[in-house]
DNA sequence: GTTCCGCATGAATCGATAG
DNA sequence: ACTATCGATTCATGCGGAA
C-alpha cells in the first residue's frame, strides 16, 4: 500500500472542488476562530464568520462519505464581555445544509492560558463538534480504550453488596450497573471529555492543538487506509498524525509558509515509503520520526 | 439576622410574580430538560421547550438585581441520534430579551454513569450557562480559590534569571510573566471547568446535581445575607446549600411531594434560628445538620 | 533506567490610553 | 462617541538535560 498525503496551496472555498464526492472518511479541522490569528490569517470578523464558513461546510458535506464523520474544533471568543454566538448560529445553519449534529466532545485544556480578570476565570475548554451525514457512521470504539482508573483496583478488591448485583439508578432512567463486571478488565471506554494539554515543546512552529487531539479522533472514526481531510491544515498536525497512523490524508492551506513547511515534512516520508513498498511497515514509525 | 428560606408550591410561570423586581442576587437552577422526567413534570416536548421557558426567563430577568447572576444548568437531549438545538435557540432568544450571555462553565462529571452504545461514549459533562443583566455583576473570586499545583513547590525554590524579571512571550501577543510573583502563594484561581463527582450519598431522593455545584456558584456570585432563587427547586439542593452558607433563598416547585419534602427539611431550621436570634451563629452549621 | 529540575510556551481578556 | 493599540495580569505542562 502506498500512503498518499496530498496537500494543496489555496483557499478551501476553491480547492475543495478538486476532491471527489463521497471520498473522505474523516474530516478533522480547527478553522481560524473569528478575529483570532489576525497576524497570520487576517482574521474573519465575528459578524461575517458564519457566512464565510457555510460554503466550505457545504463542500465538506459533499466530499464526506455517508459513513464518515466531521469533527470541528472551535470556540467562541469574548466580545465586549459577552460570549459570541457564531458557533451556535453555525450549527443551526449547518443543520439546514443537511448535517446531523450528533455529539459535542469537550477538550479540557489542562494547561490553559494564565490570566486574571475581574469578571471571568481562565478559559480551559474548547468544543469538538461532531457532525455526520447519516446516522450509521463508522465508529471504532475499541481503538481508543483507556487503562482502567485506579478506582477499580480498590473498588474491586472489596466488593460491596450492591456492587455484586445490578444496581439500578435511582432516577428511574432504567440504567443500572453491576460493578462486578469490571473484574479483570484492563481497559475501559473513554467518555466525551478529553483531557489534553496544549503542546509546548521546542518545535519551531506553534500547533493550534496537540497531536493527541487528531490522533484520538482518527483512531475513533477511521481505520488504516482510510482518508482524512483537514481543510485548514495550518502546521499540518492532522496530516502528520494521519500519516503516522497509516491513513491517507489531504490538507488545504492558504498560507505559503505553512504549505511549504508541511511539504518539506511530508514529502520525504512518501519517497521513503515508495522505496519500502515490499518491506515490513512496522518500522515505518521510527523512519518517519527520523525524517521529521 | 434571621435567615429566610421561602418555598412556594406552584408553577414558576405564576409564582415568580410574587417576587419583587431587582431583589435576587443569584438564580441557580436546573430546569427539567425537554422530554425528560416525563413521569414527574409531564414532560415539555423538545419542540415546545423554548416557547415554554421564555416567559420564565423574562420574569427571572425582572427579579434579578442588576448586579446579579443567573446560572442555568442545562444540556440538550439526543433525539433520534441527533442533538436537539433548543439550548442554542434559548440562548439566542434570551439575548433578545436583554440577557447577556457572559460565560459557559463546564461541569466535568468525574464519575458519570457507565454504559455502552455503538455510536456514542458516556456523557461526562454538562453546561452551566452564565447570564447577566449588566456587565458589572458581582463576582467574589477569592471565595473559590483552589490550592496551587505541585509545580510551584519545586519551581519557586530556585528562581532562574528569567524568572526574576518580566519575561515577554515570543509570539508578540504581549503576554509576559514574572514568575517571582508566585512566591508565597498558596492558592490560585480556578478555571471555567469544574471537576465534581455526581453525588452518591444516602439520601432517599435523587438530586439532579451534587451540593458542590450550587455551592461553588453561590460562593462565587453572592455573599452572606444575599438572596438565592431556584425556580425549579426539585429536592431543594440549591436552597439547602444556600441556607448552610447563610444566604436567604427562595424555591418554587410544582410537585407537592417535592415541596413537602423540602418543607420538612427547611422549616425546623428556621424555627431553631428564630429562637437563636441572640446567639452566636457559628454553631449554626452543626445545628442544621442535626436537624436534617 | 529513573527521578528531578529548569524552562519556554500557550486560539486570553480587560481597562486605560491614544487616534 | 467610537475604534485601535498597549500594558498588565497569571498557571500548568512536557521536554530535555542533569543528578
The pTM of this model reads 0.86
Low-confidence ranges of chain A (pLDDT < 50): 151-176, 202, 204, 277-292
Write the pLDDT tens digit of every residue in B41-99.
557 888 899 999 999 999 999 999 999 999 999 999 899 999 999 999 999 999 999 99
- Position B198 confidence tier, pLDDT thresholds 50, 70, 90: confident
Cβ B121–A170 below 8 Å, yes or no?
no
Secondary structure (DSSP) of B236-256? -HHHHHHHHTT-EEEEEES-H
| Nearest residue: Cα versus C1' of D13 | A111
Which helix H or strand E contains A257, and what residues bound it? helix A256-275
DSSP 3-state of A68: strand
Per-residue confidence (pLDDT) for residue A20, from 0 to 100: 98
H runs (alpha helix) in B115-210: 151-155, 161-164
Q: How many Cα atoms within 13 Å fall on the side-chain side of residue A160? A: 7
Span CA (A200) to C1' (D15), Å? 8
Judged by phi (left if over 0) then psi (alpha if -120 to 50, else beta), residue B47 lies in: alpha
Q: Please give the Cα distance from B81 to B84 (Å, whole number).
A: 9
| Nearest residue: Cα versus C1' of D11 | A114
Span CA (B223) to C1' (C16), Å? 30
Q: Please give the Cα distance from B177 to B167 (Å, whole number).
A: 5
Q: Please give the Cα distance from B267 to B272 (Å, whole number).
A: 9
Q: Please give the Cα distance from A271 to A86 (Å, whole number).
A: 42
Reference A101, options A63, A140, A77, A128; nearest CA is A128
Please report, for residues B155, B156, B163, B164, the alpha-carbon distance to residue B181 in angstroms, rounded to integers and kept in the order given: 12, 10, 9, 9
Q: Which of A288-292, B263-267, B284-288 has the lowest mean pLDDT?
A: A288-292
Least CB-CB distance to A103: which of B102, B120, B189? B120
Whether B281 shows a pLDDT value over 50: the answer reads no
Cβ B106–A106 below 8 Å, yes or no?
yes
Per-residue confidence (pLDDT) for residue B182, from 0 to 100: 58
Write the pLDDT tens digit of every residue in B204-225.
555 678 999 999 999 999 999 9
Per-residue confidence (pLDDT) for residue A24, from 0 to 100: 98
- Strand D: list protein residues with Cβ under 7 Å: A 110-117, 122, 197, 199-202; B 146, 148-149, 151-152, 155, 166, 174-178, 181-182, 185, 188-189
Residue A33, C-beta contacts closer than 8 angstroms, at least 6 positions apart: A74, A75, A76, A77
Least CB-CB distance to A119: which of B106, B137, B205? B137
Which nucleotide C1' is nearest B167 CA? C8
| B190 contacts on A by Cβ (under 8 Å) | 121
Cβ B102–A120 below 8 Å, yes or no?
yes
Per-residue confidence (pLDDT) for residue A273, from 0 to 100: 58
Per-residue confidence (pLDDT) for residue A272, from 0 to 100: 61
Whether B261 shows a pLDDT value over 70: the answer reads yes
To probe the interface with A, which of B88, B109, B150, B237 has the most A CB atoms within 10 Å? Answer: B88
Q: Nearest CA to CA, how far is B262 from chain A (Å)?
A: 18
Amino acid at each position: 500500500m502506498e500512503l498518499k498525503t496530498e496537500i494543496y496551496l489555496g483557499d478551501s472555498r476553491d480547492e475543495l472542488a478538486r476532491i471527489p464526492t463521497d471520498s473522505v472518511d474523516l474530516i478533522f479541522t480547527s478553522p481560524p476562530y473569528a478575529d483570532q490569528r489576525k497576524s497570520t490569517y487576517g482574521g474573519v470578523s465575528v459578524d461575517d464568520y458564519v457566512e464565510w464558513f457555510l460554503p466550505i461546510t457545504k463542500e465538506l458535506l459533499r466530499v464526506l462519505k455517508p459513513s464518515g464523520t466531521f469533527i470541528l474544533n472551535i470556540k467562541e471568543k469574548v466580545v465586549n464581555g459577552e460570549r459570541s454566538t457564531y458557533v451556535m448560529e453555525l450549527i443551526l445553519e449547518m443543520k439546514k445544509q443537511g448535517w446531523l449534529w450528533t455529539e459535542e466532545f469537550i477538550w479540557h485544556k489542562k494547561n490553559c492560558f494564565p490570566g486574571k480578570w475581574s469578571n471571568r476565570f481562565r478559559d480551559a475548554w474548547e468544543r469538538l463538534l461532531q457532525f455526520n451525514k447519516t446516522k450509521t457512521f463508522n465508529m471504532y470504539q475499541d481503538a481508543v480504550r483507556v487503562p482502567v482508573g485506579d478506582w477499580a483496583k480498590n473498588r474491586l478488591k472489596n466488593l460491596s453488596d450492591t456492587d455484586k448485583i445490578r444496581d439500578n439508578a435511582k432516577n428511574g432512567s432504567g440504567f443500572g450497573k453491576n460493578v462486578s463486571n469490571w473484574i479483570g478488565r484492563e481497559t475501559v471506554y473513554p467518555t466525551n471529555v478529553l483531557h489534553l494539554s496544549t503542546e509546548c515543546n521546542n518545535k519551531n512552529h506553534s500547533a493550534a492543538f496537540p497531536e493527541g487531539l487528531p490522533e484520538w479522533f482518527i483512531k475513533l472514526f477511521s481505520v488504516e487506509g482510510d482518508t482524512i481531510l483537514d481543510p485548514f491544515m495550518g502546521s499540518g498536525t492532522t496530516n502528520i498524525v494521519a500519516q503516522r497512523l497509516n491513513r491517507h490524508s489531504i490538507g488545504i492551506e492558504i498560507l505559503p509558509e505553512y504549505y511549504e513547511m508541511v511539504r518539506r515534512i511530508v514529502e520525504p516520508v512518501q519517497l521513503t515509503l515508495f522505496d519500502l513498498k515490499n518491506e515490513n511497515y512496522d518500522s515505518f514509525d521510527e523512519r518517519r520520526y527520523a525524517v521529521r
